[in-house]
Amino acid sequence: MTNRSELRLALTGDSIIQRRLLTREDDGLRPLFDLIRGADISFTNLEVLPNDFAGEPAFECGGTHFGAPAWVLDELIEAGFDLFAMATNHSLDYRTSGLLRAIEEMDRRGLSYAGIGRNLEDARRPVYHTHPNGTVAMISCTATLAKGQEASAQRPDMQGRPGVNPLRHSTVYEVTAQQLAAVTEMAEQLGIESLRQKIIQLGFGFPPDDPEIVEFEKLQFRAAERPAVRTRLRQADVEGIARWVREARALSDIVLVSLHAHEFGNHEEQPAEFLPVFARRMIDEGADLVVGHGPHLLRGMEIYRGQPIFYSLGNFIGQNELVPRLPADAYERFRADAALTPGMLFNQRADNDRKSFPSDRRFWETVVPVCRFADGRLIGLEIHPVTLGLGSKRHLRGRPRLAVGNEGRRILDRFAALSEPFGTRLALGTDTATLAA
């Protein structure tokens, strides 16, 4: 990027899209999507699988089987999006055949996407999107995934497995010495410990790296002064992702790392312990920004070494109640009568909007940051408040629009409060927020 070039990058969270948006025809939506179309490059996290529901529904899904018609991609292109992160906990909702169908649909349209692939190297590889004002490289990974959803490496004598770019981590539950003694006693008396030792002796398992850890039903416990949940990154994944960040740093103007993570700390608006560690490491390796999503609600923003880290941008398009087809496993999981239609199932799950997502306004509010970069450095940041229309009919809510007046200010106030623990101060205007001087 030359000294006189400035690149404007618009960012959004999860796009759970099932129906037409009509972003040019709908007067309520158009101002927001004109903002997205007006940026040089716009990013979204594609939370659905654009596979026309092809493939075999997986037993382990991301919560709801998020298949979608492939034409939702055309709708997002019309909406102004250029970069599509695809490493999510829903990428394998229709197993590898459904994932490969989605890859075919992306490739057929020539779209810039990352985070999934036919093997691990494919899934980790960055995508490069070029605009006259600069080239943005994007790497997409997910910390939230079921076992077997991660792509596997290609070998000289064996093909790899299609899947997502994983950022795996381990969890240790720190408990008091008295609590640990109780866990140890249960494991021994129930025969769980002898079975674990037998698996290790047969060569199908390994003892914990930390000899002070006690394992109980695949959970790890360690003695401490007070109870706490501690998480630690799998270094092989961190190094594998960092390798491609360094590659992208040398071959683009802006490097964006997309991180899908539902994991949380003391509460769901606080990222899990390992997430800031990873995000800061990516900036250290050469990333210009880290964009988080996954928990479907806002988390705070950090400015680290002059570069932004968004720990979650929440939902951007929230049409998860409009998924038109669900497999039999979904009906069993939600204890729903098989005669119910999908819409009836979602209504039962939410108890007529008295619980689940429709009962919590946080899932229906977000922000859209527009970052201005020059020479690889952040030189400006505008944050626009967005509402997804909670209170509207189910087929109308979930379609984003700019929030104005008191509603917009309330969203900006909340985002500012979430960002304060990271040392980030925002200057709040009438309809936007910027970084405080």
Model confidence at 5, pLDDT cuts 50, 70, 90, reads: confident
In this prediction, residue 437 has a pLDDT band, given cuts at 50, 70 and 90, of confident
Q: How confident is the model at residue 310 (pLDDT cuts 50, 70, 90)?
A: very high
Residue 181, φ and ψ in degrees, nearest 5 = -65, -35
| The predicted structure's pLDDT at residue 1 | 39
The token pair at 367 is: 């922000």
pLDDT at 62: 83
Q: Which residue has the tokens 């405080």?
A: 436
Indicate the SS3 state at residue 159: coil
Work out whether the CA dihedral 201, 202, 203, 207 comes out positive or negative: negative
Whether the per-residue pLDDT at 291 is higher than 50: the answer is yes
pTM equals: 0.95
Write out the DSSP string of 71-138. THHHHHHHHT--EEE--STTTTTTHHHHHHHHHHHHHHTT-EEESEESSHHHHH--EEEEETTEEEEE
Structure confidence by residue, pLDDT tens digits, 229-264:
999 999 999 999 999 999 999 999 999 999 999 999
Cα–Cα distance, 411 to 364 (Å, whole number):
10
Higher pLDDT: 266 or 96? It is: 96
H/E run at residue 164: strand 163-164
Residues in contact with 69: Cβ distance below 8 Å, sequence separation at least 6, in sequence order: 18, 50, 52, 53
CA distance 313 to 419: 12
First-to-last alpha carbon distance for the chain, in angstroms, is 25
Structure tokens at 260: 């899908």
Burial of 331 by CB count in 10 Å (0-12 exposed, 13-18 middle, 19+ buried)?
A: middle
Calculate ∠ Cα 407-412-413, nearest 5°: 95
The confidence score (pLDDT) of residue 430 equals: 86
426 CB burial (10 A radius; 0-12, 13-18, 19+): buried
Distance CA 153, CA 376 (A): 32
**Token output for 144:** 């939230």
Helix, strand or coil, per DSSP, at residue 336: coil
Q: What is the pLDDT of residues 100-118, one digit of tens each?
A: 999 999 999 999 999 999 9
Specify the range with the lowest mean pLDDT, choosing from 205-209, 330-334, 410-414: 205-209
* 3-class SS shares of the chain: helix, strand, coil, % to 5: 30, 30, 40
Q: pLDDT higher for 326 or 210?
A: 326
185 phi/psi in degrees, rounded to 5: -65, -45
Average pLDDT of the chain to the nearest whole number: 96
CB < 8 Å & 24+ apart, contacts of 66-69: 66/16, 66/90, 66/93, 66/320, 66/323, 67/93, 67/94, 67/98, 67/323, 67/325, 68/17, 68/18, 68/323, 69/18
Q: What percent of the chain clears pLDDT 70, i.e. is strictly above it?
A: 99
CA 30/CA 38 separation, integer angstroms: 12
Q: What residues contact 37, with CB distance under 8 A and at least 6 apart?
A: 79, 80
Topology given in CATH for the domain delimited by 7-155+234-325+360-435: Purple Acid Phosphatase; chain A, domain 2 (3.60.21)
Confidence class of residue 2 from pLDDT cuts 50, 70 and 90?
Answer: very low
The residues, any chain, with a CB within 8 Å of residue 435's CB and separated by 6 or more, are 303, 381, 424, 425, 426, 427
pLDDT tens track for 130-173: 999 999 999 999 999 999 999 999 999 999 999 999 999 999 99
- Please list, residue by residue across 5-21, b when 16 or more beta carbons sit within 10 angstroms of its beta carbon and e when fewer do: ebbbbbbbbbbbbbbeb
Q: For the chain, which residues make up each domain, given as ranges?
A: 7-155+234-325+360-435, 169-231
